[in-house]
Amino acid sequence: MKQLDPLGSMRRTHYCGMLRSEHVGEEITLCGWVHRRRDHGGVVFIDLRDRSGVAQVVFKPDAAPVAHDKASRLRTEFVMVASGRLERRENEAINPKLPTGEVELIASDLRILNIATTPPFPIEDDAAVDEALRLRHRVHDLRRPLMQARLKTRHHLLQSVRAACSDMGLYEIETPILNRSTPEGARDFLVPSRIYPGSFYALPQSPQIIKQLLMIAGFDGYFQIARCFRDEDQRADRQLEFAQIDIEMSFVGVDDVLQMLEELTVRAFRDVCGLELPRPFPRYGFADVQARYGTDRPDTRFGLELVDLSDILVNSDFNVFAQAVRKGGIVKALPVPNAEAVSRSELDRLIERVQDWGAKGMAWIRVAADGTWQSPIAKYLDDAEQQQIAERAGLRPGHLLLFIADRPALANDVLSRLRLELGNRLGRGDGRDWDALFVVDFPLFEETDNGQLTYMHMPFVAPLEDDVDLLAGDPLKVRATHYDLIINGVEMGSGSLRNYRSDVQLKILELLGYDEAEARGRFGFLLDALDAGAPPHGGFAFGFDRLCLLLAGGDSLRDVIAFPKTQRAQDLFMQSPAGVDAGQLRELGLRVQ
């Protein structure tokens, strides 16, 4: 049976946005969507759009009356194919704003492939449209040139990553989507099994254990653009499902992995944006960046480093400071030079901001032009304290010093936010567009609010060899082989060397509250694999969506994902999540309360 062909003999010869002066005189066929229609004295002008851009198609009643008659029926977003001869525009009709603005297609034939309903908003980048409306009509939103460009960037980034990993000898291996639940740091998505009632698969938060098993199996190097799923609250930089560049290598140390990550990142910027990042990426210790910047993901393109004043103020007459230190907290401050532009009303606003971030308040000192201190708290600080504070903070006339006294984690967090806000507000950048760095030497463990021991990143991170003996007596001092890649203050991903000895892995699980029977019940397959002859191995999980957002631009991950979820974890276009048929639930042995 002969198949119907909607295009007939009309086959696209060029993309709309690729037409240039050198094509003048050629017979051209274009396919696309009607972006705009204009009727000027009987001549119909169509701006035809495809993924490459826009071209002008002209229908003249005297040159092609049949095609012209059809063109009078065209409306916005109709789908069409047109053929004709490409001609140069008259000088007064040239549009310098368009790459195709010097030429136009004089149509001789037209086929309307499909009609279309009126779009809910203009297919323009600068149209002011609520995001919820854009997501509800995502196919229209994805037609906008900006969204087309962003997803094109995503495509080029995928190709760059695959080529770089392959060039470095890694195999691309797919890992299971249906697996078992393991502690990865977030809530699992569970999938009930019809065949085994009462049992569940879990969607992978990451392929962590699987890629370790691949190393034990002897593949030496693995990568994957992995789909990952985490049932957690949404943010601008978080989605329920996301993509990560997943990497694992055998017989490596930390330096080997970081060199590979640096190469991968440099190639991505070069291939996608034509930018050359400076190398080598600097490396900072976790304790160092916490002390200097209050965060483990610092943006070092401007200074404004923090100072700890706890030892100076532990016996101060200003009780707010003294009591905070005596209760195990800290007094830390942000010195801001040349801060005359920060008004008193802005200081009041900043105090409200830090309270929103969880701090009880913020004290401040302004150093006047004559060197005197202007501050509500100055009278509580004696001369010796003032001199020590001034020396440690490097205070000079024009300085502003902002204090937070609280738990170390909270004080650091609040001051790191203040640092970013004031650094951007006062334009304190050093002129660099990109700031790529590594943070290393993280602690292996941290304490929860109730004093229990937990892992800082995940339970499979290997300790530094020099610290293994500390597992038995002082686990909070154990340093991890963990490392993070930070670009412009954003954590792009993290990784570590893994435990390749089962005795070390068992000890870590014991410290986390698993007895040996429970550890073997939950992780026996991994422990058995380690005992089968596991090589030293390590890897990294690179936030692909975050890297794409950085390179393509946008405000949230929703701008670089074709069909994302909202902050309420809904897909407004597909209208999910949604209910299912009661029969399906019965098959799975489930009941909705």
- Which CATH number do you get for residue 210? 3.30.930.10
Containing structural domain, residue 260: 147-282+436-586
Q: How confident is the model at residue 394 (pLDDT cuts 50, 70, 90)?
A: very high
Predicted confidence (pLDDT) at residue 86 exceeds the cutoff of 80: yes
Q: Are residues 178 and 310 in the same domain?
A: no
Return the closest-CA partner of residue 568 out of 202, 132, 230.
Answer: 132
Q: Give the CA distances from residue 36 to residues 13, 39, 74, 77, 85, in Å, rounded to whole numbers and listed in that order.
A: 22, 10, 9, 8, 20
Contact assessment for residue 470 and residue 433, using Cβ atoms and an 8 Å cutoff: no
Strands 221-229 and 171-172: parallel
For residue range 343-377, what is the model confidence (pLDDT) as tens digits? Answer: 999 999 999 999 999 999 999 999 999 999 999 99
Mean pLDDT, the chain, integer: 94
User: What is the CATH classification number for the domain harbouring 350?
Assistant: 3.30.1360.30
Predicted confidence (pLDDT) at residue 3 exceeds the cutoff of 70: no
Q: Count Cβ atoms below 10 Å from residue 511 Cβ, excluding itself.
A: 18
Give backbone dihedrals phi and psi of 130, rounded to 5 degrees, phi first: -60, 140
Residue 484 maps to a domain: yes
Torsion angle in degrees (nearest 10) through CA of 497, 501, 506, 512: -10
Q: Are residues 81 and 104 in the same domain?
A: yes
Structurally, how many domains does the chain consist of?
3
Q: Are residues 265 and 163 in the same domain?
A: yes
Predicted confidence (pLDDT) at residue 2 exceeds the cutoff of 70: no
Q: Are residues 328 and 272 in the same domain?
A: no
Of 425, 454, 480, the one marking the end of a domain is 425
Residue 574 maps to a domain: yes
Residue 128 maps to a domain: no
Q: How confident is the model at residue 62 (pLDDT cuts 50, 70, 90)?
A: very high
Q: Are residues 220 and 338 in the same domain?
A: no
For residue range 117-141, what is the model confidence (pLDDT) as tens digits? Answer: 999 999 999 889 999 999 999 999 9
Q: Are residues 537 and 476 in the same domain?
A: yes
pLDDT of residue 9: 84
pLDDT of residue 237: 74
pLDDT of residue 184: 60
Predicted confidence (pLDDT) at residue 1 exceeds the cutoff of 60: no
Residue 120 maps to a domain: no
Q: How confident is the model at residue 182 (pLDDT cuts 50, 70, 90)?
A: confident
pTM of structure: 0.90
Q: Are residues 564 and 522 in the same domain?
A: yes
Q: How many CA atoms lie within 13 A of 350 on its CB side?
A: 24
Q: Are residues 256 and 326 in the same domain?
A: no
Residue 127 maps to a domain: no
Q: Are residues 84 and 57 in the same domain?
A: yes
Return the closest-CA partner of residue 514 out of 455, 451, 446.
Answer: 455
For residue range 484-513, what is the model confidence (pLDDT) as tens digits? Answer: 999 999 999 999 999 999 999 999 999 998
Q: How confident is the model at residue 185 (pLDDT cuts 50, 70, 90)?
A: low
Over range 404-426, report the average pLDDT.
Answer: 96
pLDDT of residue 183: 65
Q: Are residues 238 and 169 in the same domain?
A: yes
Q: Are residues 104 and 159 in the same domain?
A: no
Q: Are residues 308 and 415 in the same domain?
A: yes
Q: Which of 5-14, 151-160, 328-337 has the lowest mean pLDDT?
A: 5-14
For residue range 261-303, what is the model confidence (pLDDT) as tens digits? Answer: 999 999 999 999 999 999 999 999 999 999 999 999 999 999 8
CA distance 282 to 302: 15
Of 362, 390, 425, the one marking the end of a domain is 425
Predicted confidence (pLDDT) at residue 434 exceeds the cutoff of 90: yes
For residue range 448-482, what is the model confidence (pLDDT) as tens digits? Answer: 878 788 888 888 999 999 999 999 989 999 999 99
Residue 573 maps to a domain: yes
Q: Count Cβ atoms below 10 Å from residue 417 Cβ, excluding itself.
A: 17
Of 114, 130, 159, the one marking the end of a domain is 114
Return the closest-CA partner of residue 56 out of 25, 22, 91, 93.
Answer: 93
Residue 270 maps to a domain: yes
- Which of 471-487 are b and which e, b meaning 16 or more Cβ less than 10 Å from the residue's Cβ? beeebeebbbbbbbbbb
For residue range 540-576, what is the model confidence (pLDDT) as tens digits? Answer: 999 999 999 999 999 999 999 999 999 999 999 999 9
Contact assessment for residue 504 and residue 462, using Cβ atoms and an 8 Å cutoff: yes
User: What is the CATH classification number for the domain harbouring 109?
Assistant: 2.40.50.140
Predicted confidence (pLDDT) at residue 217 exceeds the cutoff of 60: yes
